[in-house]
Amino acid sequence: MSPPYARPQGSATLMHVAINCPDVDESLRFYSEGLGFTRRYEWTKSSKAACPGHAVYTGRGVYIELEGETYIELFPGGTRGVDSSAGPIQHIALIVPSVDEAYTKCLASGGRPYALEDWDGAPETVVLNGTPEMEVRVAFIAGPAGELIELYEQYSPVVARQ
């Protein structure tokens, strides 16, 4: 077995988030064209079961890289539509250079606006009331597989003060 290629320095770091997609190619287009992510790796079979008691995976799997060896992993399956029972709490948040530009590109690449109560999910500047207050610009969209995505533009670092 080869030594690990990517090793976090210190604590653990996020490697990937997996999404079941009714149409992997549609999701791949959305993440590539809408958000500029790069298709890095594709496979159709694992050499052994991922967990004891599970079968060897056979099917399509695709890694798309966000940046810095962090990925979204696309698998076939699932159904379209956001599970709204948890509201916007279950989502993927992506820091983007411009929420307005990313929102427009995502909609043009197969994303859909995701309304939250009295807000249509379009780009909006929000103030978080922590200490100190933090101003952010956010938007919510549903991806092609029904995944809920928060586009996030941050104006200051996340710093908690006592």
Are residues 103 and 149 located together in one domain of the fold? yes
- The pLDDT of residue 50: 55
Q: Check whether 114 has a pLDDT greater than 80.
A: yes
Are residues 96 and 135 located together in one domain of the fold? yes
Q: Residue 26 in contact with residue 144, Cβ under 8 Å?
A: yes
- The pLDDT of residue 1: 47
Task: Give one DSSP letter per residue of 101-138, joined into a string.
Answer: HHHHHHHHTT-EE--BTTB-SS-EEEEE-SSS-EEEEE
Within-domain flag for 1: no
Are residues 50 and 95 located together in one domain of the fold? no
pLDDT band at residue 29 using 50, 70 and 90 as cut-offs = very high
Phi, psi of 30 (to 5 degrees): -60, -50
Write the CATH number for 138: 3.10.180.10
Q: What's the structural domain count of the chain?
A: 2
Using DSSP, how many helices (H) and how many strands (E) does the chain show?
Answer: 3, 9
Within-domain flag for 137: yes
Are residues 126 and 103 located together in one domain of the fold? yes
- The pLDDT of residue 3: 55
| Chain mean pLDDT for the chain | 83
Q: Check whether 159 has a pLDDT greater than 60.
A: yes
Choose the weakest-confidence range: 10-19, 31-40, 149-158: 10-19
Within-domain flag for 4: no
Read off the pTM: 0.79
Per-residue pLDDT of 44-71, as tens digits, reads 877 655 555 555 667 888 999 998 889 9
Domain that holds residue 140: 89-154
